[in-house]
């Protein structure tokens, strides 16, 4: 019997919740595969936040705090896993919350927006346009939302949109448990941590950091260094299992 406070128990609860959300249409079937891939990398981290991830989370807070027009981009998995955490981060950072989906239908957008609103988030909604240079439906966003943003936080991202946003001159914060992914390597800042652990820490740092601390963290941002530390942490844990 797995104790309820054990990470394995929480993983089982999360999987069942995601399955329910998939049956309801909030999470796509492809999203379930994506979550399973992330879980595998989280095992390599010991299902806990590393020291380097904690520094990355503080740096993410600094980027959001210093931004003129920050946006939190939310997909189905993020809404299912962390709607409450998104609402807390929005309140702490002042960022807009906008739904952006690969498998997009009007009904699914409305469902996800309803989940976010129920959790306390103020969702920036309305008519979306095909504004990003992408061949799929992640191209749709709001002109005064993500399209106008200077900083975009993209939990559980796909690599091509991340690449496009960076190419448009935006600072992109990714939350990605896979330090080898195209998203992780393309983003301005990658947090190698599980989304429900990362978002509350970013929110906490948004309220705790001074302006001088924010500027210092952003000036010292080294994404390659964060990724290298994450890979080293995973390698150390694997080596310790021998």
Ordered domains of the chain (ranges, CATH): 51-240 (3.40.50.12640)
Predicted pLDDT of residue 32: 56
* Residues 84, 89: Cα–Cα separation, whole Å: 9
* Structure-token match 């989280």, residue found: 42
pLDDT tens per residue across span 10-67: 666 677 776 676 666 666 656 555 655 768 888 899 999 999 999 999 999 999 999 9
* Residues 232, 18: Cα–Cα separation, whole Å: 30
Find the helix or strand (DSSP H, E) in which 123 lies. none
Predicted pLDDT of residue 193: 96
pTM of the model as a whole: 0.89
CA angle 40, 121, 72 (to 5 degrees): 55
- Whether 3 shows a pLDDT value over 50: the answer reads no
Find the helix or strand (DSSP H, E) in which 120 lies. none
pLDDT tens per residue across span 122-156: 999 888 999 998 888 889 999 999 999 999 999 87
Side-chain half-sphere exposure of 124, counting CA atoms within 13 A: 23
Q: In a 10 Å sphere around its CB, with 0-12 CB exposed, 13-18 middle and 19+ buried, how is residue 34 labelled?
A: middle
Q: Which two tokens stand for residue 172?
A: 């992109």
Other beta carbons less than 10 A from residue 218's beta carbon:
16
**What backbone phi and psi angles, to 5 degrees, belong to 155?**
-65, 140
* Residues 178, 191: Cα–Cα separation, whole Å: 10
DSSP 117: H
pLDDT tens per residue across span 182-223: 999 999 999 999 999 999 999 999 999 999 999 999 999 999
* Residues 114, 125: Cα–Cα separation, whole Å: 11
| Best CA proximity match to 35, nearest among 45, 48, 22, 50 | 22
Q: In a 10 Å sphere around its CB, with 0-12 CB exposed, 13-18 middle and 19+ buried, how is residue 38 labelled?
A: buried
Predicted pLDDT of residue 204: 98
Predicted pLDDT of residue 156: 75
Q: Measured between alpha carbons, how far is residue 43 from residues 7, 51, 180, 234 in Å?
A: 10, 16, 15, 9
- Whether 224 shows a pLDDT value over 90: the answer reads yes
């Amino acid at each position: 019997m797995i104790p309820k406070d054990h990470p394995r128990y929480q993983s089982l609860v999360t999987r069942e919740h995601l399955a329910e959300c998939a049956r309801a249409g909030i999470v796509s079937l492809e999203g379930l595969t994506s979550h399973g891939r992330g879980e595998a990398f989280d095992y390599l981290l010991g299902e806990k936040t590393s020291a380097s991830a904690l520094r990355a989370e503080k740096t993410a807070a600094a980027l959001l705090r210093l931004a003129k027009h920050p946006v939190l981009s939310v997909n189905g998995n993020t809404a299912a896993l962390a709607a409450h955490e998104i609402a807390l981060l929005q309140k702490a950072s002042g960022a807009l919350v906008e739904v952006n989906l690969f498998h997009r239908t009007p009904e699914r957008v409305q469902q996800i927006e309803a989940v976010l609103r129920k959790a306390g988030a103020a969702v920036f909604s309305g008519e979306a346009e095909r504004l990003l240079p992408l061949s799929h439906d992640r191209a749709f966003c709001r002109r005064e939302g993500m399209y106008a943003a200077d900083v975009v936080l993209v939990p559980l991202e796909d690599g091509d949109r991340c690449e496009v946003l960076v190419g448009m001159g935006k600072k992109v914060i990714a939350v990605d448990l896979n330090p080898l992914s195209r998203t992780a390597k393309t983003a301005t800042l990658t947090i190698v941590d599980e989304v429900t652990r990362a978002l509350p820490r970013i929110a906490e740092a948004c309220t705790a950091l001074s302006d001088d601390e924010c500027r210092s963290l952003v000036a010292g941002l080294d994404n390659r260094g964060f990724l290298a530390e994450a890979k080293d942490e995973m390698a150390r844990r694997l080596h310790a299992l021998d």
